[in-house]
Amino acid sequence: MTKRSLAAAAFVLLSSTVSATDIGATFETACPFGDCAAGISLSYLGEFVIPTGHMENGVEFGGISGLDFDAATGHYIAISDDRSERGPARFYELEVDLDASGLKGVSVVKQVTLKDKNGEPFAARTVDPESIRLGKDGIYWGSEGDGKALLAPFVRVASPDGSFVREFKLPEGFAPTADKSTGIRDNLAFEDLAVAPSGDVFVGVEAALYQDGSNPSLTSGSLSRIVRYDGATGEPKAEYVYPVSPIPQAATKSDGGNDNGMSEFLALDDHRLLAVERSYAQGFGNNIKIMMMDLTDATDVSAIASLAKNDQRVVPVRKSQVLDLRAIGLVPDNIEAMSLGKAKDGADVLILGSDNNFSPSQKTQFYAFKVLSRPQQ
């Protein structure tokens, strides 16, 4: 049975809105990577916060790690990365109250349980949902897997009621291995999912596979792979290299933890994507940078088993920073979700969402920007 909540009604969630940026402030990148046809301009529309601990139908709301707009309903779908521990693995349908005057609220319309291939909800810790998009034949969603448990990542298609439809083929070299010689790193796997207008599907890992090099550090970056799929067949078509930047901020203590990784991307067209680089430094917090990438002329590395042990010429995707949330005066949490969509007044918008990790020291945070201009073909 599919578990749904609040099927007809939507309840506005609690808000504690704090912003250091004025509504209407504009941020423009005229010529990313020197390409003025790729220019993008955004206008800030505000922040909305849902405190950790908010309950929906007896299940804690949070862990928002993916977000996408449904033009048919005017609502958004949002996936939780709860590993079927606090409740069944699930996604939400959200209504976002947003217009030219700003972001006023987020409402839960319903909650849908994701089903395994057997038609049943996922057992605890057998799945780690991290991304969600609407595709031509259903809801595309990704699980990060579990490197420690040797649980492979996957991308699947679900029906609107959460039932399994089909699964994409996992390319060679991505499955975790016990000796950590190849495959995904734990908690650094399938974080990113995008669907291009052509129907092609892009899937990205947060940081390098074991055979491709190291994690980001304060002095060096990491080589993440992006898989390009034929969306209709689920077969891989190509792989590209995205160079994740070095960690931009040291922890406040010498033994403090810090990291950086690509936590989400979305397709602007068939070759340009926006990506979130999300970093964390203990004692400081998160840095969130929005990058634009262009896959044009990037090397297909699907036949290269190891980027670290390779003598072939590799051209990574081009990338250029288009927005730094800290630099414009915001204090972002753990941003892992990003969607283009429509405001209630019909304006094109970009919405970011955070994964609160179900932690009382974090929050589910949404930022909204009006899209004033975007890349031209």
Q: Judge whether 20 lies within some domain.
A: no
* Predicted local distance difference test score (pLDDT) of residue 315: 98
For the domain that residue 31 is a member of, what is the CATH number?
2.115.10
Cα distance between residue 141 and residue 163, in whole Å:
12
Instruction: Report yes or no on 85 lying in a domain.
Output: yes
Main-chain dihedrals φ then ψ at residue 34, nearest 5 degrees: 75, 10
pLDDT at 107: 92
Closest by CA position to 320, among listed 273, 256, 271:
273
Q: How many helices (H) and strands (E) does the chain have?
A: 0, 24
| Domain annotation covers residue 16 | no
What domain range includes position 130? 25-373
| 12 found inside a domain | no
State how many domains the chain has: 1
CA max distance for the chain: 59
In the block, residue with structure tokens 């862990």? 63
Distance CA 125, CA 46 (A): 35
Tokens of 61: 């709301």
- Tokens representing 133 are 């998009």
End-to-end CA distance of the chain: 45
Residue 119 lies in a domain: yes
Does residue 3 belong to any structural domain of this protein? no
**18 occurs within a structural domain:** no
Residues 181 and 194: beta-carbon distance below 8 Å: no
Residue 30 lies in a domain: yes
Tokens 């390009």 -> residue: 228
What is the residue-level pLDDT of the chain in tens, covering all 377 positions? Answer: 333 333 333 334 433 344 458 999 999 999 999 999 999 999 999 999 999 999 998 999 999 999 999 999 999 999 999 999 999 999 999 999 999 999 999 999 999 999 999 999 999 999 999 999 999 999 999 999 999 999 999 999 999 999 999 999 999 999 999 999 999 999 999 999 999 999 999 999 999 999 999 999 999 999 999 999 999 999 999 999 999 999 999 999 999 999 999 999 999 999 999 999 999 999 999 999 999 999 999 999 999 999 999 999 999 999 999 999 999 999 999 999 999 999 999 999 999 999 999 999 999 999 999 999 999 87
**pLDDT of 13:** 41
What is the rounded distance in angstroms from the CA atom of residue 20 to the CA atom of residue 328?
A: 8
Which residue, 296, 239, 294, 303, is CA-closest to 265?
294
